[in-house]
Structure 1
Amino acid sequence: MTCLNSRALNRATLARQHLLTRSDTSAPEAVAHLCGLQAQEPQEPFIGLWSRLTDFKPEQLDDALSGRTVVRTHMMRRTVHLITADDALAWRARHDTMLRQRVLGTYRRELAGIDVDEVAAAGRAAMADQQPRTMSELVQALEGRWPGPPRRVLGELLIAALIPMVQLPPRGLWHQTAGVRNLPLATWLERDIAPLPADDNDPVGQQLLRRYLAAYGPAASSDLRAWCGLAGLPAAIKAAREELVVFHDEHGRELLDLPDAPRPHPDTPAPVRFLPAFDNAILGYRDRSRIIDAPHLGLSVAGHRTVLVEGRVTATWTVRNHQLRISPLRPLTALEQEAIHAEAQDLTKFLDEDIEHIQLDTEN
């Protein structure tokens, strides 16, 4: 069995994430290929797509959101994701149990004794008039029947777990700061959510597996589980195993992959890339050592924007007081500093935030 070292896995990840070479695909096609972009910070997906696509313009994603080709919804790991409408409808039922369990697990004490099916039915009845509502407005319609749980807890139960919802534009549009207004997914898209097939081979899980490997592989089953939050998809992996190829990493973990997926040579040069907060190129794995060193793992979950140099997280970046500031995590060579500065100049033009200065710290 072939061993893939960390650098080989890094180059495979970069290639599939469109971070090795920018792609000329459309914004919705990129969102589909990437299996969604984590989007609890509404502006961050724009940066993620800019780093991945040739000549990306913010209005391309705005049009996809306003045109209902792409939606903002809770999906993988109970996190708000930007995901295509087709994938949201196809995948939501497969995520229902996980979403419910995560909310109930987080708020076990506050929701003790609550019949969640009754809450779901009441929530659907409250949304039957097809009018967008904030979380507060939806909770207000129900709290007379369930006065016990805190409003925020009841709202999260409804919106993140029980009723498949979309966060409507202008939330998530470029340079917009609109609050969250919710509408049921099926209402917004005027299409029904696909029911979960009664199939022991888990066909939806198989699709998730193949799509995940296309965008993130080679990967272990624990990486797949960490990405989607589902319980490993063992039936799907078993059903699809014969069509997959198998490797192992330097720690002996079994890695699955699609036979014809790109696996560039480990020595392939990797350009500087600026990543947004919570980018799935980092968060889409249980073992993130292919892209970030262990001492810096906390950066990826704390919402720091990062810079890839030679394919690895090497700096963080912020925009504040008309300055783009880059803080390296290790000493940089002169050539690395030059490449970072060049990419930063292009980024400032894209951000269009009246950035007057690029500050590249030289001490760390």
Structure 2
Amino acid sequence: MLSLRDLNRATLARQHLLSRHQGDAADIVHRLAGLQAQEPRPPYLGVHARLDGFERDDLHAALHARTLVRATLWRATLHLVTAADFAAFRPVVAPVLASAARRFDGIDFDAVVAAADRLLAEGPMTFNELRPRLMEEFPGAYDRALGYAVRMLTPLVVEPTQDRWSFPREPVFGPPGIEPAPVDVPALVERYLAAFGPATPADVQTWSGLGGIGKVMAGMDLERVTGPAGRELFDLPGAPRPGGDVPAPVRFLPDFDTLILGHADRTRVLAEEHKSRVTTRNLRVRAVYLVDGFAAGTWQIKRSGKKARLLVSPFGKPDLAPLEEEGLRLLAFAEPDATALTLEAADPV
């Protein structure tokens, strides 16, 4: 039987948050089956938390080489994934994305996709550029619905630039130039468990958006273990489960981090009483820091001239001393041109 701490440490080990991975940026993104990337900076910070000796230029170069791509994938949101994983998993989740698109009525989806393919063949565009062109061909349609349908139904990637975090504020989308190479759902489940396990079918479904996962997992050669509260968890045979007494270092995770979003039951890293302080009403998922393996507070960076401050908002009594080394390491990475770096407790809200 796994205690909550056992489950926590097993997941942190697979997320490379107990000890940083030795490898390159593409390797860690592959091991995590992607990092959520609604905004340009968080994936960089997510890799920084998990990869030893990580340099910004490594990820930047991988994006420009198309080894890594930023594209719509899990849960119909933008993710940073390897090109190989985009080829493998985008066709698998295509029905989920299509279902999301079809919540809008009165749209000829095939015609919209064909029009978008033709327009984007002229060159990459922002959706603010693409939507008016689509409206010319589909007058009277809801422009946001047209854009959303294209996002869900047409495989696209965001084009990298020379911006600090490789993308501008307004993303530019274009065809991926990647041939689909779909895998089966059991292969997807194995990749999930390697990065997030042990887990329930509901956890896999929350992460992937796919239904029918319970039946798939029941037919796989997976180990079954008893978790907290007697829940049955599935796992890969031989996957790391180091035990709840293994030390877990302080780690700072970015907004929308995959660890926080990767399970139906997040209590393995985020206590239920703190959930409302992390996930906002407008569905933003705040950056958190881990102490002893569990989310202990949120954080944000404030910049004024050449001074950068890392402001932490602890869930309990403030104790900044254990946070300083890792916090300033993060701040130096996120604000490399700042000449003064400080870690401070934020004013209570």
Q: TM-score, normalised by structure 1?
A: 0.88
Q: CA deviation at 1:350?
A: 1.4
Gaps of 5+ in 1: 106-110, 197-202
1:169-220 per-residue CA deviation (whole Å, 9 max, x = no partner) reads 11875275352111112x3xxx3223x5xxxxxx521111001000100000
Superposition map of 1:74-85 within 5 A: 74-85=72-83
Matched, 1:179 2:173: no
Matched, 1:339 2:326: no
| Aligned 8 A contact 1:272 1:340 in 2 | yes
| Aligned AA (1:279) | D
TM superposition outliers: structure 1 runs of 4+ over 4 Å: 361-364
Q: CA deviation at 1:234?
A: 4.2
Q: CA deviation at 1:155?
A: 0.8
Residue in structure 1 matched with residue 184 of structure 2 by the alignment: 204
Task: Name the stretch that deviates more: 318-327 or 27-36.
Answer: 318-327
1:83-141 per-residue CA deviation (whole Å, 9 max, x = no partner) reads 00000011111111101212333xxxxx3221212211222222333x11111222222
Task: Name the stretch that deviates more: 14-23 or 295-304.
Answer: 295-304
Q: Aligned pair in 2 of structure 1 residues 177, 117: CA closer, same or farther (>3 Å)?
A: closer
Residue in structure 2 matched with residue 286 of structure 1 by the alignment: 264
| Alignment match of 1:359 (pick from 327, 344, 347) | 344
| Alignment match of 2:180 (pick from 193, 198, 204) | 193
Residue in structure 2 matched with residue 31 of structure 1 by the alignment: 29
Residue in structure 1 matched with residue 208 of structure 2 by the alignment: 228
| Aligned 8 A contact 1:132 1:183 in 2 | yes
Residue in structure 1 matched with residue 54 of structure 2 by the alignment: 56
Q: Aligned pair in 2 of structure 1 residues 65, 250: CA closer, same or farther (>3 Å)?
A: same
Matched, 1:302 2:300: no
The separation in 2 between residues aligned to 1:349 and 1:313, in whole angstroms, is 22
| Aligned 8 A contact 1:42 1:171 in 2 | no
> Percent of aligned positions with the same letter in both sequences?
37
Q: CA deviation at 1:157?
A: 1.0
Q: CA deviation at 1:224?
A: 0.2
Matched, 1:46 2:37: no
Task: Name the stretch that deviates more: 160-169 or 142-151.
Answer: 142-151
Q: Aligned pair in 2 of structure 1 residues 77, 176: CA closer, same or farther (>3 Å)?
A: closer
1:26-83 per-residue CA deviation (whole Å, 9 max, x = no partner) reads 1000000000000101101111111111111110100010010000000000010000
Residue in structure 2 matched with residue 137 of structure 1 by the alignment: 129
Q: Aligned pair in 2 of structure 1 residues 306, 31: CA closer, same or farther (>3 Å)?
A: same
Q: Aligned pair in 2 of structure 1 residues 289, 184: CA closer, same or farther (>3 Å)?
A: same
Residue in structure 1 matched with residue 87 of structure 2 by the alignment: 89
Q: CA deviation at 1:280?
A: 0.8
Gaps of 5+ in 2: none
User: What RMSD in Å do the two structures reach over aligned CA positions?
Assistant: 2.0
The separation in 2 between residues aligned to 1:285 and 1:173, in whole angstroms, is 31
| Aligned 8 A contact 2:225 2:232 in 1 | yes
| Alignment match of 2:156 (pick from 165, 175, 185) | 165
Q: Aligned pair in 2 of structure 1 residues 157, 84: CA closer, same or farther (>3 Å)?
A: same
| Aligned 8 A contact 1:23 1:54 in 2 | yes
The separation in 2 between residues aligned to 1:269 and 1:41, in whole angstroms, is 31
Residue in structure 2 matched with residue 269 of structure 1 by the alignment: 247
Matched, 1:100 2:98: yes
